[in-house]
Structure 1
Amino acid sequence: MSVFTLVERAELEAFLAPYGLGRLLEFNGIAEGTENSNFFVSLEAGEYVLTLVERGRRRDLFFVVELLQRLHAAGLPVPYAIATQSGETLRELAEKPALLQPRLPGKHISRPNAQHCREVGQLLARLHLSTREQILEHQSDRGLDWMLSEGPLQALQLHDEQLPLLRDSLAELAEQHAHILALPRANLHADLFRDNLLFDGPHLSGLIDFHNACAGPMLYDVAISVNDWCSTASGRLDGSRTRALLGAYASLRPFTAAEAHLWPTLLRVACLRFWLSRLIAIHQPAATGVHIKDPTEFQRRLQQRQQVSLQLPFAL
């Protein structure tokens, strides 16, 4: 279970009282997630999710709160920070920044099909379209520059046979850095994995965990999503799922010629980002029961992305 900070019932009840949502009935830690502590909270007024933010600067959370309010107003199925009766949305519990949000319906999909991927593509396009004309500027703390600085440090801990893949990936990123940053921009989820989307039956019902959200190239967000939702167990891209996701996205926001040219590079950069972050996680002391994801999963995907045959559709 990925709960880094334990919470006692009495302190949780004191934290929840200002919301005026009734008596605490039950609360449980949430197993998914690798960076924050999350709890399902049942109150007399309904079901909620409590998040204790374990990483990042407190002032960054105001960006997350504002972004979620904007996406909620645009009709996207996202959580949003609930305010106390005195108007507070960002508070503190167990000496950590804390947010209370409504619990969205649905469940995670571990084995997606083309229809699931089609809905992912449409939702991601809607997210980008709702922010690209008025971007909330916010830099990722694990963006392109972070990869270029963190990569050589992680290389010191890799086996010799892993080094050429990492070095070549870093070299490509350095070479294409300026071109990537020049691509069309919007606000990004930047972590749109299967465990951050909910489906109620065949329909997408919730997009959660915006703590890696930032501003940046929209194609990077697409690449992150494709790398997870469309990968097979061996790390290859499944053709039907990839075409479904990309086609649904492009039906709402057509890709540009520059995006089509850099598509293979962005797939590799997106793999590199999560390979590095997972390498960091396995070398850090973990609390008991914290779920640490396998970095070799993204090493395999990065190896498979050295040749990309599935191109972007409808490039202009």
Structure 2
Amino acid sequence: MSVFTPLARPELETFLAPYGLGRLHDFQGIAAGSENTNYFISLEGGEFVLTLVERGPIQDLPFFIELLDVLHDANLPVPYALRTTDGSALREMAGKPALLQPRLPGKHIKEPNTQHCVQIGELLGHLHLATRDRVLERKTDRGLDWMLTEGTNFLSHLEAGQRPLLQAVLSEIEQLKPRIMALPRANLHADLFRDNVLFEGTHLTGLIDFYNACSGPELYDVAIALNDWCSHEDGHIDGVRARALLGAYATLRPFTAAEAELWPTMLRIACLRFWLSRLIAAESFAGQDVLIHDPMEFQMRLAQRQKVSTPLPFAL
């Protein structure tokens, strides 16, 4: 179970008291996390999620808090940092930065249909529109430069059959990086997978886990989402679901001609980012009781993205 920091009831009660949310009823560690420790917290005042930030860009936590405040104010279904009675949002517990957030209703979708994908497209469109006029700047720590560095490192110890696939997309990044970075920008979720979205039936009720959020090309966010929500197990894109997601997004934020031209490249880059991060996690946490996603999933998707038959709609 991916609960890196175990907590006991007395220390939780002490930590939670300043929020003024009443007595602690129950708490439970969440097994799904792969980077941070998360607990479901049940208080007299409602249901909440406590996150202890274990690794990553801890210095950027004020950015995440501000971004979620902006999105919450724009009526997006996102968590946000609750304040104590003296106004503190970012606190410390067990020596780790800690945030308490409302627990959003709903469950994760394992097998999305077109209606789910329509709502994902709409959600992403609203997220980008809420931030593109005043982008909160944060450079991702897993961007194009990171991909070039880590990808080059992995070339030496991948199997021979994997190297051409990796080398091709690295060369593409080197060639097209200036054009990619010139695409329309906003704040990105940058990890919009099925396990970060909540639904009640076909109604989207929550978008969670913003710890990869950053500023960057909006098209990259679309590619990340489509690669997960619209892929079959063998890595092929489901054209019906893909057109539903892209059409819903484009209704809110039309794509540009430059984005249409770079769309196949961006799909490949979005695959590479998660192929590399999963390869790194598999090496770093081998033999440990930590949730590790299969790197082969994104290797397969990258192989399938060498030819892309689902174009962007309504490119201007």
TM-score scaled by length of structure 1:
0.98
Offset, 1:134: 0.4
Could you tell me how far apart the structure 2 residues matched to 1:287 and 1:159 are?
A: 21
Task: Give yes or no for the alignment of 1:312 onto 2:306.
Answer: no
Could you tell me which residue of structure 2 aligns to residue 169 of structure 1? 169
> For residue 63 of structure 1, what is the amino acid of its counterpart?
F
Asked whether the 8 Å contact 1:34–1:291 carries over to 2, the reply is yes
CA distance in 2, matches of 1:16, 1:263: 46
Letter of the 1:86 partner, please give it: D
Query: Aligned partners of 2:5 and 2:143: how far apart in 1?
Result: 26
Separation in structure 1 between the aligned mates of residue 213 and residue 73 of structure 2, nearest angstrom: 17
1:71-220 matches, within 5 Å, as 71-220=71-220
- Mean alpha-carbon deviation: is it higher for 55-64 or for 226-235? 55-64
SS at match of 1:198: strand
Alpha-carbon separation, structure 2, partners of 1:194 and 1:204: 11
Distance 2:34 2:167 in 1: 26
Contact 1:3 1:29 in 2 (8 A): yes
In 2, are the aligned partners of 1:154 and 1:280 still within 8 Å (CA)?
no
Match status 1:282 vs 2:282: yes
Counterpart CA distance in 2 for 1:287 and 1:93 is: 27
> Considering only aligned residues, what root-mean-square deviation do their CA atoms show, in Å?
1.1
What amino acid is aligned across from residue 296 of structure 1 in structure 2?
M
Per the TM alignment, residue 286 of structure 1 is displaced from its structure 2 partner at its CA by: 5.9
Unaligned runs of 5+ residues in structure 1 are none
Secondary structure of 1:63's match?
helix
In structure 1, give the amino acid aligned to 2:178. A
Q: Given that residues 33 and 195 in structure 1 are in contact (C-alpha distance below 8 angstroms), is that contact kept between their aligned partners in structure 2?
A: no
Measure how far apart 1:288 and its partner are. Answer: 4.9
1:175-230 deviation line (CA, Å, top 9, x unaligned):
11111000000000000000000001211000000000000000000000000000
One-letter identity of the residue aligned with 2:27: F
Unaligned 5+ residue runs, structure 2?
none
Quote the Cα distance in structure 2 between the aligned partners of 1:84 and 1:208: 21
SS of the residue corresponding to residue 284 of structure 2 reads: coil
Percent of pairs with identical residues:
66
CA deviation vs aligned residue, 1:123-161 (integer Å, no higher than 9, x gap): 000000000000001110111111111111122331111
SS in 1 for 2:162: helix
Residues 107 and 276 (structure 1), Cα distance of their counterparts in 2 relative to 1, 3 Å cut: same
| Secondary structure at 2:161 match in 1 | helix
Match of 1:39 in 2: 39
Q: Match for 1:222: what amino acid?
A: V
* Separation of aligned partners in 2, 1:232 and 1:10: 46
State the partner residue of 1:234: 234
User: Does residue 1:271 correspond to 2:271, yes or no?
Assistant: yes
- TM-score using structure 2 length: 0.98
